[in-house]
Amino acid sequence: MLKSRIREAISKSRTRESIEGYLFLLPNLLGFLIFLAIPLAISFYYSFTDYNLFTTPKFLGLANYAKALGVSFDPQAYQTALVQGKSWFAAVGAWIKPNDPTFWVALRNTLVYALGVLGFSIIPAFLLAWLLNSRLRGMTFYRALIYIPVVASVVGSALVWNWIYQQQSGALNTIISGTISWLNKLIFTAIGHPLVDPYIGWLVLPQYALFSLILMTSWATVGYDMVIFLAALQGIPVHLYEAATVDGASRWHILFRIIVPLMTPTIFFIFVINTISSLQIFSEPYIMTQGGPANSTLTIVYYLYQKGFQRFQMGYGSSLAWIVFALIFIITLIQFRLSGRWVYEE
């Protein structure tokens, strides 16, 4: 009898604890369901439909995915290109006809952008962290200075960089023009070969616009990467440096034989995080270039925004969103699979 009462009391207590636990979870759970899980499920459904926000979605099956990813082949165009004297590569390009060529332009831009940001942020961040990992006076100030762009809002940074990149009166072209003018006065005019001011249209010419965005994002990312690298650098045991120095290792030997191998888990982390955020790039082209000029900064997320929210093709836009998800998932998976070959785990 007593045992039964005790069991009953424990059971009641557990039930009450469970209810309390769920109540504590509820705000977060509701937020997750309302703002993430349900919209994700709806977007997945829309990706199989023709939906313009105003009329009832019409089920299309895989048509949206086929439109984005599908290609057809035009042997006639291949032959014509060869007859016109175009290269074999150009002829193959003419032979393959994507169903939605703009999607492939956006995909190419996104991949180039991601690669560019990885290169222009990780390497400088690593070198900066290495340089700043010392006990020189004012080091805290320099570290804070490099970190400032991370806390600045993307919108504010983008507007400032818009001004920096302005062709006619921007800071960058003013510096380049001033430097060229100074060099001409100093050397080149005297030897009869004055340098010509390139007067670069950073954001207005297709050949420079994507690079300009890469540079701006890298500037904004370097601070974060540097802080992570710095923390990892400071976790390397001092006795390893001492032992290497006693053995006569140079600064470069220490860098490449001790620091870099021990930092590979951190490098991998930064690599994955930067890849994921770069593939989702939206704000910079939205604010600075609107995907132009000539689609040169049209990224895949900006393209899905155009399709979904500017052209009201919500079904196709949703399918593009899921393609971006799949792309990021596959690339991250490959990164993890390849990490075993170069990431040093203790």
Partner 1 sequence: MSDWWGLWGWFVYSGGGSLFNADRTACGLTEPGSITGLQFMADLFLGPDRVAPPPGLEGGVGETEFHAGTVGMFPNGRWMTPSDRANDAFDWAVVEMPKGPGGNATWLFWGAYVINAQTEYPQQAWTVLKALTSPDVQAQIAALGTNIPSNKAQAAVDAFLNSKPPADNTPFINGAAYAQAEIPLFTGNWNDIVGGQYQPNIDKIFAGLATVQEAAQAACDGANPLFK
Of the ranges 7-15, 34-42, 165-173, 331-339, which one interacts with partner 1 (CB under 8 A)? 165-173
Of the ranges 149-157, 185-193, 212-220, 283-291, which one interacts with partner 1 (CB under 8 A)? 283-291
Closest to partner 1 by CB, 175 vs 333, is 175
Closest to partner 1 by CB, 130 vs 202, is 202
Q: Does 206 bind partner 1 (CB under 8 A)?
A: yes
Q: Does 335 bind partner 1 (CB under 8 A)?
A: no
Mention every residue, 6+ apart, whose C-beta is less than 8 A from residue 187.
Answer: none
Question: In angstroms, what is the minimal distance from the CB of 249 to partner 1?
Answer: 51
Closest alpha carbon to 108 in 275, 261, 322, 299: 299
Q: Is the dihedral of CA 3, 5, 8, 12 positive or negative?
A: negative
Site string for partner 1, 287-316 (x = CB under 8 A): -xxx-xxxx----------x---xx-x---
Closest to partner 1 by CB, 87 vs 207, is 207
DSSP 8-state secondary structure symbol assigned to residue 167: T
Q: Where are the alpha helices (DSSP H) in the chain?
A: 2-32, 38-46, 63-69, 75-83, 88-95, 101-132, 139-151, 154-165, 171-183, 206-234, 238-246, 251-253, 260-279, 283-288, 300-305, 314-342
Site string for partner 1, 76-105 (x = CB under 8 A): -------------------------xx---
Question: In angstroms, what is the minimal distance from the CB of 54 to partner 1?
Answer: 8
Question: In angstroms, what is the minimal distance from the CB of 115 to partner 1?
Answer: 22
Given a contact cutoff of 8 angstroms between Cβ atoms, the answer to whether 132 and 142 are in contact is: yes
Closest alpha carbon to 301 in 325, 274, 282, 273: 282
What is the rounded distance in angstroms from the CA atom of residue 266 to the CA atom of residue 262? 9
Q: Does 207 bind partner 1 (CB under 8 A)?
A: yes
325: its two tokens: 């998800």
Selected from 90, 108, 112, 162, the binder of partner 1 by CB under 8 A is 162
Residues in touch with partner 1 (CB under 8 A): 101-102, 162, 165-168, 201, 203-207, 288-290, 292-295, 306, 310-311, 313
